Amino acid sequence: MALSTTSINGQKVRFGVGLRNEICAELAELGSNKALILSTPQQVDMAMELATTVGDRAAGVFTRATMHTPVGVTEEAVEHALSVKADSIVSIGGGSTIGLGKAIALRTSLPQIAIPTTYAGSEATPILGQTEDGIKTTLTDPKVLPRVILYDPELVASLPPAMTVTSALNALAHAAEALYAKDRTDQSTELAIDGLRAFAEGLPTVVESPGDLKAREETQRGAWACGTVLGLVGMALHHKLCHTLGGSFNLPHAETHAVILPHAIAYNAAGVPDLLAPVSDILGGSEPGQVLWDFSKSMGAPMALKDIGLSEADLDRATEIALKNPYWNPQPVTADGLRALLQNAWAGNAPSV
Ligand code: NAD
């Protein structure tokens, strides 16, 4: 699918090496003279470099974005934005930084420009997850959708190899679950297939040569397609399970997606093999879950929940929590099925079909 600079959800979306340096033109187009720049503490250097480029149009830099968007941090950031009279938000970073930008926008209606540095895809969705008192809740509101996305391949080129792989698998998870979404359309399926194809082709190259900017751009186009489709259709077992493991056991976001994906897809492939056929067609193989497991392994992804912080003793509780809020899934979610899935994912076994 050819990408125009206006996305199907009304965002202005641009791809190109060095695009971050065009931030002033984008701010001018928004009518913004006082942009608040956001980052995590780990990406202060990127934020400071951007602030230099923004120059007189910068209202300041807030560098305390945190995973899962804690409301306490958002409140401090909103106070900061108001105190410096910010008239726009520029988020440079992954889903955590973009999440903070969205949380500020929800409370202030300030327009946002997102400059993604991972493949998570939050920049392309009107979805915001926030955490308060240890509980993560998710809302959808058009107000939180960034107005502009600047995908600059140089910024993902600095992603460490492990994060490159897990973040890409996080994106692929949006596309894989979109294929069987209850509210899927021809357009969402086409986007999901575009996203899968972009990573199938681009990821092996960027793993081999992290600085290959052409392949990095291809993977960013994949991230856009996967993120957009996440905003268009409902997700099922895979995302709900990752939400449980992240929220209740504090497992790292992208790594959890990477480990669970082959298992959740194998589980659902038993019910909707035809809808998941594009996964096997694009990645090469026959069983979609096994194909994803082989692909993840060959990319060097983490393969076991036990390696990313979950203890075996937590598996029963994880099953219980994941079953508590029933949700639509193409295949009935049973306690035994889920427990077996988690056991396999915990041990790092190939998915059972
Ligand atoms: P992240 O933003 O938490 O980044 C992880 C770490 O990597 C951070 O320390 C960050 O500073 C660092 N980092 C990011 N890009 C880098 C780069 N290019 N070079 C070096 N270091 C870099 O990770 P993420 O996986 O992008 O985002 C996870 C969060 O996003 C979760 O809270 C998740 O729920 C949320 N998310 C939301 C949506 C949505 O639509 N609302 C979609 C996907 C993810």
Domain boundary assignment for the chain: 3-157, 171-347
Residue with the smallest CA separation from ligand 1 atom 22 is: 159
Distance in angstroms (rounded) separating the CA atoms of residues 147 and 141: 13
CB atoms within 10 A of CB 323: 15
Question: What pLDDT, on a 0 to 100 scale, did the predictor assign at position 5?
Answer: 72
Dihedral pair phi/psi, residue 40, rounded to 5°: -85, 165
Which atom belonging to ligand 1 lies closest to the Cα atom of 156?
A: 18
Question: What pLDDT, on a 0 to 100 scale, did the predictor assign at position 295?
Answer: 98
Nearest residue to 106 via CA among 145, 59, 160:
145
Question: What pLDDT, on a 0 to 100 scale, did the predictor assign at position 187?
Answer: 96
Q: What is the pLDDT of residues 73-88, one digit of tens each?
A: 999 999 999 999 999 9
Question: What pLDDT, on a 0 to 100 scale, did the predictor assign at position 353?
Answer: 63
The region that residue 150 occupies, defined by phi over 0 for left and psi between -120 and 50 for alpha, beta otherwise, is beta
Question: What pLDDT, on a 0 to 100 scale, did the predictor assign at position 231?
Answer: 97
How much distance in Å is there from the Cα of 170 to the middle of ligand 1? 10
Tell me the whole-structure pTM to 2 decimals: 0.96
- Out of 69, 118, 145, 216, mutate this one to test ligand 1's pocket (max ligand atoms within 8 Å of CB): namely 118
Question: What pLDDT, on a 0 to 100 scale, did the predictor assign at position 325?
Answer: 81
Token pair 């600085």 is found at 211
Which helix (H) or strand (E) is 88 found in, with range? Answer: strand 88-93
- Take residue 117 and report the two structure tokens written for it: 């540095």
How much distance in Å is there from the Cα of 120 to the middle of ligand 1? 6
Class of domain 3-157: alpha beta
How much distance in Å is there from the Cα of 94 to the middle of ligand 1? 3
Q: Which CATH architecture has domain 171-347?
A: Up-down Bundle (1.20)
Ligand 1, CB within 6 Å, residue ranges: 40, 42-43, 67-68, 93-97, 99, 117-118, 120-122, 125, 127-129, 155-156, 158-159, 163, 167, 170, 230, 253-254
Instruction: Indicate the average pLDDT of the chain.
Output: 96
Positions of the chain with pLDDT under 50: 1-4
Residues 6+ positions from 44 with CB-CB distance below 8 Å: 61, 63
Which atom belonging to ligand 1 lies closest to the Cα atom of 129?
A: 41
